[in-house]
Structure 1
């Protein structure tokens, strides 16, 4: 039994019973409430903190108990949310001559009176409380009320007059830290906290760009500072896509490389209402010129992917990606390896440089491990047989969580390498692991290995994982292999004592849709002879005509390609006299009926 979890679930009930004899207001009750709060047992915390306060004690502990209970009550943690009850607790706390939580209590109470339900609103009281809270976020809230004219008559002079009281603005995180509620912005309680009190991931990014703006072009007047805050505040506290774009434009114009990069991403997204590829490129270039790593990476990738990549593009892509990698963008190392292995015409492949880049990040990036393993297993310049073992080590380090790595190991042991002998046991073991994760190539190879080993029943069970999958779900490069597996599975079912007529028909029809000639031939003869189905000359004719059309196409292709398949050899391998005789008979019947 998971005792810690079980105990945690029982904690509120156990504590209530254990302390049922304790007097309200006793230190023991307070300590139990604090411990419950620390354990995120909010129901128990509310119960015991309220019991403690019912004792009418006045101490530091009562101050904390009242403040914590107000926050839980406001957010609805451990019980129903109740703005009015939270406000009453905070008002009572503020009646004390001194409170450790005075600023936080004033700010939270101001938020209730400002943003709460209509019956709880008191704008005048909210303004007084915000000024009295006297810490940056509360004062910025107050300044923005006057600046925007929200709830009060607009008074921008009053807003600007508050700037000196806010203090230093060189750390945006401190400015926008909501002391009363930020503690509950973690993943477990984030959904209970109003959006204006917590920053999302993009909000944290905006804070970093704000610090860049402040360092690069700090306003020299209070009015300029207020305009800076008036652009930043909506993007953080009351965000919308438009407000954030406005901030990025402002910050980008002021020199923030982060903001320049972000506006480039927005203008470069095809589904963005601001889609403008030309402007996106300009902003990205400005950011890259400041050596912002993500911008360097984005420009390097765009150049590397270019459909008509020139020699100059190749060299610039290398430059951008090398600068990005040197500044910590690990993704850039992957792209550099790609460029080193796929150089422009006339340039030599730089395998050693590719390996060096990948080895820098392989410990933390499975894609690098895969590419390294592929290089070590290849016959590229500088690769020796002893590196095959290194490739296996890399793949084995991922194979228990990565189906592709397990598949590669299975394929290696299936065929063997110069320094690694084939091993059916290892091949089947790794392929099963990948197949169990839904890896289609592994499922195909596993079925083939088992079939070749004479384990027909096991091979059939392996094929059952995928032979009934819809045609549309099969990747183009695997359609022929899946089609052959469908036919093989149909033949397996057809040879079983128990009746599998429906499964045989379904599999053959899907294989026939995939232009599997064996399936077309089987279905055509099945309907022609009336085996397992009612005779149907029309269906038989359709399947066999399709077979003949494909047969002639592939025979002509074999001839035109000057391959080893002469017409005679092609007939010997793929011809089917029964099909040709049946089709001749059906054509005769059809001509007679017409």
Structure 2
């Protein structure tokens, strides 16, 4: 019988051994470096194998995987695969939330809200994590944050922010958000209608932005006025901004009134706005004392825009006492806070050594920071590249900066882009493009653009267009253009010959001390063209221009002395002035000197003087005056 039992007993032993070995063989190797631990954990979880999921999530969580930390925390919260332990859930959620995992931030906030896993509830910390998650678009966090703001739980009650986050939750497709938003709106409207100034302001801003209701600027203004009249400083400030806006017809006088009302309640932005209006004379009479007083109050309390405005006033604004050291102090504060106007102007101070030691490297750094959005800074970087100031000269890179500046609304870039196309520098030579850019600049009353546009048409023999633009420039007080207008009347270029206009325009330009016009007017008196012939007046005008270094006038004045016309004959004076003109390279003066030496007449005179050089000092000026060309803010 024992023999009969040997085989069955052996088989049973093998079977039992197999049962003992099977779990060992089937146990997961969580330390496998090649395994995708998070994926394995997710698969196990979906199959309901929570112990297995916990093992895989733990391994991935220890390696810093934010999603695995979140998943492992949820197992502790729900008691799946591990004993329920809210404190462990909090621990792992904190690690994941610190890595900006939105779901972890939301779940952690809920635990802080309820006090699970900690000694007591902490609504303030809950709000912190709700905001972190909400800003990443977590819809549940957005709605819950709205509730906190509406109820003032863990944060100061703020129905405006409650509405904002409820609206964001609605836009994130949170199904519970829309009814909550509408109920919140009804509550705010009811309070507003009962005369609650804060609710009136919230309702005004809601109508203004169209948040949860159709945008309605009339309703927005109505509620702003009611709230402002009840002394709400935010409403007073926003009503001032509304009234000062170009979009709303600009009522600067009333805007100033509301800014002042808010400023007197300590509203910093209103103080800054009112100070700026006092500085610029917008809405109220210019008042330097009031400007400095209110801007300083706001700036000292930390308002960066006010600091920027003070820096501009002390550094650039006409009518204010200037102090570069004080200007730099305020500009630096504003620049550190990211105000691009301040960064641009501070960069200019470093570039020019005003109020600080000259430092072109620092200037470039500040220009680059500001140039992320500021057109003037983009323009200034264009100048630095165009002229090779502390950077490699690069006309193409300069052109790219000028294009950026133009797109940012800096109108000074129009003229430069026109010049670059006109001369083929950094951009293709293209007179059509040049003309279009000149026209844009001319529309901004840029005098050099008007002149260059006229000159482009003049050199293309389109005299009618040239005359039109020269006349515009001349009427704006451009003496060089006035001289050309007179010349075109005299020659019948683009306009009929008109000797009265010839005389009038030469005289106007001459009286502006423009030497070529003085020469041309003297010629009219010498010849009696359009005026009564008068050698003495001719000599008078030749003398003015000659003393200013005008070679053709020096030659003509020498001629008058040589022949005793309008002046006592004086060969020495004639020789002196012929020599001066000749030394400037005027060939006819050299010929006249030879005639004078041989006591011969037949002197040669220029009949006409015009200057048709392109105005492009930004490209060719030597030495280059950086201060003259930098684009800076001169008023706040």
TM-score (norm 1): 0.50
Q: Name which structure has the greater RCO, CA cutoff 8 Å, separation 6+.
A: 2
TM-score of the pair, normalised by structure 2: 0.47
